[in-house]
Amino acid sequence: STSGRVIKCKAAISWEPKKPFSIEEVEVAPPQAHEVRIKILATGICRSDDHVMSGALTVPFPIILGHEAAGIVESIGEGVTCVKPGDKVIPLFVPQCGECSPCVSPKGNLCTTNDIGAVRSLMKDGTTRFTCKGKQIHQFISTSTFTEYTVVHETSVVKIDADAPPEKVCLIGCGFSTGYGAAVNTAKVERGSTCAVFGLGGVGLSVVMGCKAAGASRIIGVDINKDKFAKAKELGATECINPQDFTKPIEDVLRELTGGNGVDYSFEVIGRTDTMTAALASCHMNYGMSVIVGVPPSASKITYPAMLLFTGRTWKGSIFGGWKSKDSVPKLVADYMRKKFNLDALITHTLPFDKINEGFELLRKGKSIRTVLVF
């Protein structure tokens, strides 16, 4: 048994920004009290991980990235009761402690124990469970899934259906839930409404799926990569437009497409401040709502005409689709198992873990929607 012992395994380490991942042997310490060690079975490649690699998101290095995964509990620390060895689980980059104000309030989901705002990239006791070549390796947003084994706090893991395919439901750990929830939870898209989705990657397409599930009558996809249009229409977009096909600002184009009114709901799923402002300007001047879903660069600031909000528009942010993670993830997995939504359509590539750099190149070149790495 490996319980209580250090495990040596493979992990993809980011030693510094703008450099490829390095597959290394790491030592993974046993879980301490209220911690869980997980054998990762499958992990998705998310744009947020690439934002770290590009330097857009500031984190301490060296680090093991990855936050969208499914696996099996290998061992648990003292006091853990929510899972047991052998359970199939999804790590949660948005924890749920159940006690802080966002956890208790029906209005929130960003547990105050998160490692997203004031990033520490360490366990709650200020240390890490990863060591490589004698160096301490940082952990990423409570998860670190680009490794065969990881350790998370018990607030950052939840048991799921034992029959759920890990190479599919890993997307519920981030991309699908983030996009789908932005439409159904954050915006609360209404039947018959008109929506615009800026960015048709894995998360943007999940927004499209959420808008369709909510009964939107018109869903306009916006992307500069026309190769994504067919998939967007397959998943629910009624039409797609490329901003590069127009000489006027895209918000003007969207207002013209909607009889001068603008859309009821717009979603920015790219992470650029210029498209965030354009998405806001594209929604109805009085009762339109624009939701920021894409992760902005750490140092970015937005400048916009104040009149855009004064006339009545609502501008909202959405993290993990507004889902309370421990409560919602098992239900979303169950919904997938009942074929309530189609995760398979989002997965364009499945690669062995050691081809992680190839997977990121597919993402950067716009040739993949979601690449899943399997161990």
The one catalytic residue in 103, 111, 170, 174 is 174
303, two tokens: 């400048």
From 114-118, 139-143, 279-283, 318-322, the region with the lowest mean pLDDT: 114-118
Answer whether residue 19 shows pLDDT above 80. yes
Q: Give the pLDDT confidence score for residue 119 in this predicted structure.
A: 81
- Of the pLDDT bands very low, low, confident and very high (cuts 50, 70, 90), residue 114 is very high
The one catalytic residue in 1, 9, 34, 51 is 51
To the query of whether residue 349 is one of the catalytic residues in this protein, the response is: no
From 153-162, 208-217, 290-299, 354-363, the region with the lowest mean pLDDT: 290-299
What does the chain come to in residues?
375
- Of the pLDDT bands very low, low, confident and very high (cuts 50, 70, 90), residue 296 is confident
The one catalytic residue in 46, 103, 211, 240 is 46
The one catalytic residue in 34, 67, 138, 153 is 67
Answer whether residue 299 shows pLDDT above 90. no
Cα(30)–Cα(341) distance, integer angstroms:
37
Place of tokens 């003292």: 78
Q: Give the pLDDT confidence score for residue 211 in this predicted structure.
A: 98
CB 370 within 8 A of CB 363: no
Give Cα 136 to chain centroid, integer Å. 26
Q: What is the DSSP string of 189-234?
A: PPTT-EEEEE--SHHHHHHHHHHHHTT-SEEEEE-S-GGGHHHHHH
Q: Give the pLDDT confidence score for residue 160 in this predicted structure.
A: 98
Average pLDDT over residues 106-126: 91
How much is the pTM? 0.95
Residues forming a β-bridge with 130: 28, 137
Mean pLDDT of the chain: 96
- Of the pLDDT bands very low, low, confident and very high (cuts 50, 70, 90), residue 117 is confident
Average pLDDT over residues 310-321: 97
- Parallel, antiparallel, or unpaired for β 130-132 and 194-198? unpaired
To the query of whether residue 34 is one of the catalytic residues in this protein, the response is: no
Residue 88: DSSP 8-state: E
Residue 368 in 3-state DSSP?
coil
Average pLDDT over residues 53-65: 93
3-state helix, strand, coil in the chain (%, to 5): 30, 25, 45
To the query of whether residue 67 is one of the catalytic residues in this protein, the response is: yes
Q: Give the pLDDT confidence score for residue 107 in this predicted structure.
A: 95
Answer whether residue 244 shows pLDDT above 90. yes
Average pLDDT over residues 161-169: 98
Instruction: Give the CA count within 13 Å in the CB-facing half-sphere of 247.
Output: 0
Answer whether residue 161 shows pLDDT above 90. yes
To the query of whether residue 48 is one of the catalytic residues in this protein, the response is: yes
To the query of whether residue 284 is one of the catalytic residues in this protein, the response is: no
